[in-house]
Amino acid sequence: MDEISLKALAKINLGLDVLGKREDGYHDVRMIMQTIHLYDRVEIKKTRSPHIHVETNLYYLPVNEDNLVYRAAKLMKDEFQIKEGVRIVLQKFIPVAAGLAGGSSDAAAVLVGMNRIFNLGLKQNKLMELGLKIGADVPFCIMETCALVKGIGERITPFAMPCDFHILLVKPAMGVPTGKAFSMLDFEKCDHPDCNEVIHALQQGDLAQLSSVISNSLEYSAFQLVPEIADIKHQLQSIGFEAVLMSGSGSTVFAITRKKELLRQAEKRFHNKTYFVCCTAIKQ
> In whole angstroms, what is the distance from residue 174 CA to residue 30 CA?
26
Pick from 159, 261, 241: which is nearest to 202 by CA?
A: 159
> In whole angstroms, what is the distance from residue 159 CA to residue 145 CA?
8
| CA within 13 Å, CB half, 203 | 12
The answer to whether 215 and 244 have CB atoms below 8 angstroms apart is no
Residues labelled as active-site residues = 11, 137
41, burial (CB in 10 Å: exposed 0-12, middle 13-18, buried 19+)? middle
Please calculate the CA angle 85-91-96 and round it to the nearest 5 degrees. Answer: 110
> In whole angstroms, what is the distance from residue 141 CA to residue 148 CA?
13
Sign of CA pseudo-dihedral 107, 113, 118, 123: positive
Pick from 204, 217, 218, 270: which is nearest to 239 by CA?
A: 270
Buried b (16+ CB within 10 A) or exposed e, 131-160: bbebbbbbbbbbbbbbbbbbbbbeebeeee
User: Could you give phi then psi for residue 44, rounded to 5 degrees?
Assistant: -125, 130
> In whole angstroms, what is the distance from residue 175 CA to residue 94 CA?
13
The answer to whether 127 and 155 have CB atoms below 8 angstroms apart is no
